[in-house]
Structure 1
Amino acid sequence: MGQSTLPEERTLTTLHTIALAMDTLAASGVPYERLLAGSGLVRSDLDTPDKLIRHTQELRVFANALACTRDPALGLSLGLRMHVSAYGILGYTMLASRTLRDALELALARPILLGTYFNLSLERDGDEARLVARDYRYAPELETFNTELCMTSLLTVVRDLLGEPVTPRRLLLPFAPPAHAALYADKLGCPVRFEAGAGVLAFDAALLDRPLPLADPVTCHSGLQQCLKLDARLSDRHDVLEQIRDHLDGHLRESATLHCVARRLHRSERTLRRHLQRLNTSYQRVLDEVRYDKARRLLADTDLPIYLIAEQLGYSETASFRHAFQRWSGQSPSLYRR
């Protein structure tokens, strides 16, 4: 049975980064309607702290933000404003941790709560500590933005935790120098090297064992328990959505209904619909995403005629598939295949 290869359509996250982007751009006069366009989100969603969204929705807001501001260094600016408190209970638990190492290891062990687009790790080489970001697999046009946001937000978190303006030893980035490359040294105060194998924020390893000024073992223990519960809740919802996607991917030709999926997964239709509503999505939207995902794979990796691809996706008429693909991607299946 197949599985969606688009991580941005499967992974869940919180609203904290979108909230930061909206607050930052609102100060520049950018209306929230433009930022949220096409994301499936509305302004009132940001007043619901426990609301979960998919990475595909967050990425749409990021793309809108770049288009609205035309600021190629927006990722740098947002990351430097991404304070540890923006991560909710995870951030406050980090602040109450014993040392910087404890705080960072706590966060890196729970990537769902961080909402990261990377595989993050903490490494040490002699007297140098490194926060490393690898394996970006999301929207390629947003790689520079997301890498900048990730690396500078990590720096901001380190500074917040220690309560001092730490200057990195160096920053490594996996892409070629962008047009705004000169801004890096100005904003970060350290040497920057491009076209590296991964994103790396390097700093003095002695800082890892530095006691944190707001350390409190009771608060840290209490916060950790809440983090574990939230992590489990996010993972459970993620697992249910994965099960629905996985079933659909292998049964699209049957034009599966939610009732059919619920029966095969041994759950009630009402339970599945409630799960989807909590994830700010619907069965039709999930079905469309799985079809779009599979259509792109079949168009890119096979020579199947368009009408056979339409059949495999559960369409009785090729014209219906062509219309749907145009709506999803902004281009025809034939043009996409080129």
Structure 2
Amino acid sequence: MAENVLDLQDSSFVVQLVYPALIEKGLDIDQIAQRCNITPELLQTSHARYPHAAQRHFWQVVEEISGDPLIGLHLAEIMSLHKGQVWEYLFLSSPTFGDGLQRALNYQRLVSDASRWELERDGDIACLNIHFSGGASAELRHFVEASALYLIRYFRTLTQDKFEPRWLAFGHKAAAPPERYAEVLGCEVRFAEPSTALVFNAEVLELPSSRAEPELLRLHEQLANERLARLQKQDIVVDVRSAIAETLEQGQPELNDVAERLGMNARVLRARLTEADTSFNQVLADYRCYLAKRLLSRTDESIADIVYLTGFSEPSTFYRAFKRWTDMTPVEYREFKQAQLQARSADQAPSQL
């Protein structure tokens, strides 16, 4: 089944890295948290996940509030490099920098579903290629740039400043003169390239780790595998959501129909959803709620059309469900979201002298 970008997720670790830097920069974190729905769970729970699609909105809000076209880079300059994540310990307890890097890449999904990292070596040159799902569009520029600088800083720390990038490639266009990027990143920066890539001297891969611990490495790999297995159990939820999205306009999807679409019988699907701590009815309700709120807040679709698009046969059934989900009627929810948008527009409007 084709990958659904809307179902890709990032670890709360990503938000937890950025949030203290926002505070240090003196930005209005209350406004950022409200506009981006940053919950206490995201800031306090190491295992929480959130939709990768929210990255676009988050960085747009941060740029608007900061007025800084290079805010991703400037936040990455002051981000804390260590958050006690399992992939960090894998890196630290591996025998060499290269071995630790490859292990971290093997478990990269623990950080995000939305990118794929590949390490290549050609003679004395090594290249870390980063492929972003859905493409690294201009809307994700800050996220990509912050990630690149964070990695460079982290690699330098692990190698006692022996890691030095030769050049860095971005898929997007520059938002400032290239020399400003080079000054912050410490290397030549190329733009509008086919992909994001960090190129460095391969000899650094052989550097021994000062914290190599074989026994701890085994424990860290066991923990990483357990967490990866939990994520893999959630994959069936992504598949079911995608199948529901593809068939919802035809009416309420049934478990048997979705199971057939996924090439399994209903009993197996039910069991796999149970392993993922959910059920078919819960996944269906969650997706309907997500779609209804998105249509009400971001489109001018009539309520009657939204009833149809969310697979309900009767408006009254839709109204009852939406009230149960949000404690608001659909009309109240749309008015609430419109009022929020108008308030933000008024705050951003230039003063009239």
Normalised TM-score (structure 2): 0.72
Q: What secondary structure does 1:49 align onto? A: coil
One-letter amino acid matched to 2:139:
L
Query: Which of residues 30, 34, 37 in structure 2 aligns to 1:37?
Result: 34
Match of 1:60 in 2: 57
Partner Cα separation in structure 1 for residue 145 and residue 138 of structure 2: 13
Partner Cα separation in structure 1 for residue 113 and residue 216 of structure 2: 25
Q: What secondary structure does 2:165 align onto? A: coil
Query: Which of residues 197, 200, 203 in structure 2 aligns to 1:200?
Result: 197
The question of 1:185 aligning with 2:186 is answered no
Deviation at 1:165, TM superposition (A): 5.5
Deviation at 1:52, TM superposition (A): 2.2
Deviation at 1:113, TM superposition (A): 1.2
**Which shifted more, 195-204 or 52-61?**
52-61
- 8 Å contact kept, 1:127–1:206: yes
Q: How large is the RMSD of aligned CA atoms in angstroms? A: 4.0
Query: Which of residues 267, 272, 280 in structure 1 aligns to 2:270?
Result: 267
Q: What secondary structure does 1:72 align onto? A: coil
One-letter amino acid matched to 1:247:
I
Q: 1:261 to 1:196 in 2, by over 3 A?
A: closer
Partner Cα separation in structure 2 for residue 3 and residue 201 of structure 1: 28
One-letter amino acid matched to 2:287:
V
The count of corresponding residues between Structure 1 and Structure 2 is 308
Q: 1:3 to 1:68 in 2, by over 3 A?
A: same
Deviation at 1:182, TM superposition (A): 2.9
Q: 1:308 to 1:60 in 2, by over 3 A?
A: closer
Normalised TM-score (structure 1): 0.75
Partner Cα separation in structure 2 for residue 142 and residue 211 of structure 1: 38
Q: What secondary structure does 2:130 align onto? A: strand
Unaligned runs of 5+ in 2: 260-264, 320-329, 342-353
Q: 1:43 to 1:58 in 2, by over 3 A?
A: farther
- 8 Å contact kept, 1:3–1:249: no
Match of 2:211 in 1: 214
The question of 1:162 aligning with 2:159 is answered yes
Partner Cα separation in structure 2 for residue 31 and residue 288 of structure 1: 30
- 8 Å contact kept, 2:13–2:111: no
Match of 1:21 in 2: 18
Match of 1:286 in 2: 287
Match of 1:99 in 2: 96
Unaligned runs of 5+ in 1: 300-306, 331-338
Deviation at 1:292, TM superposition (A): 8.9
Higher RCO (C-alpha 8 Å, min separation 6): 1
Deviation at 1:309, TM superposition (A): 9.5
Partner Cα separation in structure 1 for residue 132 and residue 53 of structure 2: 17
Counterparts of residues 113-152 of structure 1 (less than 5 Å): 113-115=110-112, 117-137=114-134, 140-152=137-149
- The runs of at least 4 aligned residues of structure 1 exceeding 6 Å deviation read 257-263, 291-294, 307-310, 322-328
Query: Could you give the per-residue CA deviations for residues 242-284 of structure 1, whole angstroms, max 9, x where no partner exists?
Result: 323423432442134899989957538x9599549xxxx9754
Identity %: 21
Q: What secondary structure does 1:25 align onto? A: helix
One-letter amino acid matched to 1:28:
K
